[in-house]
Amino acid sequence: MSAVRIGVLALQGDVREHLAALRDSGASACSVRRRSELDSVDGLVIPGGESTTMSHLLRELELLEPLRSRLADGMPAYGACAGMILLASEIRDAGTAGREAIPLSAIDITVRRNAFGRQVDSFEGDVAFDGFDEPVHGVFIRAPWVERVGDGVQVLARAADHPVAVRQGAMLATAFHPEVTGDRRIHRLFVDIVDGRS
């Protein structure tokens, strides 16, 4: 049986680290910057970065509407940090007009950008994660949190009394960065989602 093919949106962020984590988790992984690359994958990781810049680049590269269409058609996606922001249905503090983060409306949540504070307020800590025997080590860098969870959205982890990991069907999102810790459990979970095993 061939491995599922999972793309990493290669606009900003830890693209190499996500590619390595996906390969370690049994997937065939590739970078995605073009429509043809997006069309070739079974699932997509949207890494961290700056959500307003990523939204701008999605428009510039003519990927915004094709990505929305693939997500609406059920393509699994995992968003980390800025990726969580973009997968949301509503974004608080989205930015200034013309340079705002654009919600892809793949997960029925409201997120707040930079909810934990500025870059200097970034932090790390262990987070209990539903379904895992041991906590995950959360690296929170100018991280969002979830302020509203819609019907059908499962909260997988919390920090500071707010959801920081959620799942809705084939969509997964974390406010933190598991790709930098060496812990592959979240990436393995996403590979299983794409492969239909979870």
Instruction: Tell me if 37 sits within 8 A of 74, measured CB to CB.
Output: no
Alpha carbons 171 and 103: distance in angstroms, whole number: 14
Q: Which residue has the tokens 């987070």?
A: 127
Instruction: Tell me if 136 sits within 8 A of 146, measured CB to CB.
Output: no
Alpha carbons 196 and 76: distance in angstroms, whole number: 10
Annotated catalytic residue, options 81, 90, 100, 134: 81
Annotated catalytic residue, options 18, 56, 177, 187: 177
Identify whether 81 is a catalytic site residue: yes
Identify whether 177 is a catalytic site residue: yes
Q: Which residues are annotated as catalytic?
A: 81, 177, 179
